[in-house]
Amino acid sequence: MTLDLKHRALITGASSGIGKATALSFAKAGIDLVLVSRNQSRLDAVAVEARQIGVEVQVCPVDLAAIAQVKAEISRIAERHGPINILINSAGVGYTGGILETSLEDWQQVLTLNLTSVLQCIQAVLPGMHDRHSGTIVNVASIAAYQAFPNWGAYNVSKAGLLALSKTLAAEERSNGIRVVTVSPGAVNTALWDTDFVHADFDRSKMLTPETVAESILHTVLLPTQAVIEELTLMPSAGAL
């Protein structure tokens, strides 16, 4: 299926993992891209691949952890490179640690990037969607939004909060012609597992690939506008790891 009108998607976390795979999947579907991440060189590399496929690509380095600036920066990007018909909030960080040992600084950093920055991106893009009475917002959560894994407390809470944010937004924006989707994958084989914030010993060969998650995100976006997949849980066939 192809889109009836030319669409442009703003994708956060687009320099790697699910965000990068989604950008390339969207490019193959003919969707123009606005790529957001703090790593300009990696964004540039993704942009080269996407342009070779044949779509327009804008690269916009933004540090979503600098929360006081996020809404203003994304608003400027949406005004300069819009209209933004699709917003994909895929930026995020993993974190392992028991509740008792989690520092306030770590807790706030996880909630800031995984939840509060998403709110700021939504608030920046939503007014334009209101003007056009259309748009699709996809928030990438996690199976952890539904299932509390021990020693993943801050991450569990951030993703459960993201699910609640999505449900609330969907209820508020249906009458405005705006679709809100939450995609909650199980373990995905990304660089998240290589960071200093995550300590886990899982068989990564049994995880989902970023490309599989990206195809699922694309499917939700390509549905006719009269339909919406509000919640999609995508698990490895091996189950929760």
Q: Does pTM surpass 0.85? A: yes
Region 161-189: what's the mean pLDDT?
95
Give the active site residues. Answer: 155
Contact assessment for residue 59 and residue 118, using Cβ atoms and an 8 Å cutoff: no
Q: Residue 102: what pLDDT?
A: 96
Q: What is the pLDDT of residues 10-56, one digit of tens each?
A: 999 999 999 999 999 999 999 999 999 999 999 999 999 999 999 99
DSSP 190-216: SGGGGSTT------GGGSBPHHHHHHH
Amino acid identity of residue 40, one-letter, is Q
* Domain presence at residue 187: yes
| pLDDT of 3 strictly over 90 | no
CATH number at residue 137: 3.40.50.720
* Domain presence at residue 107: yes
Q: What is the pLDDT of residues 52-110, one digit of tens each?
A: 999 999 999 999 999 999 999 999 999 999 999 999 999 999 888 999 999 999 999 99
* Domain presence at residue 111: yes
Cα separation, 77 vs 103, whole angstroms: 34
| pLDDT of 189 strictly over 80 | no
* Domain presence at residue 3: no
Q: Which of 45, 47, 63, 64 is nearest to 55 (CA)?
A: 47
| pLDDT of 1 strictly over 50 | no
Domain that holds residue 27: 8-234
* Domain presence at residue 2: no
* Domain presence at residue 240: no
- What are the backbone angles phi and psi of residue 154, rounded to the nearest 5°? -60, -40
Model confidence band, residue 202 (pLDDT cutoffs 50, 70, 90): confident
Percent of the chain whose pLDDT exceeds 70: 90
| pLDDT of 190 strictly over 80 | no
* Domain presence at residue 239: no
Model confidence band, residue 241 (pLDDT cutoffs 50, 70, 90): low
* Domain presence at residue 91: yes
Domains of the chain: total: 1
For residues 27 and 2, the model is more confident at: 27
| pLDDT of 2 strictly over 50 | no
Cα separation, 131 vs 229, whole angstroms: 23
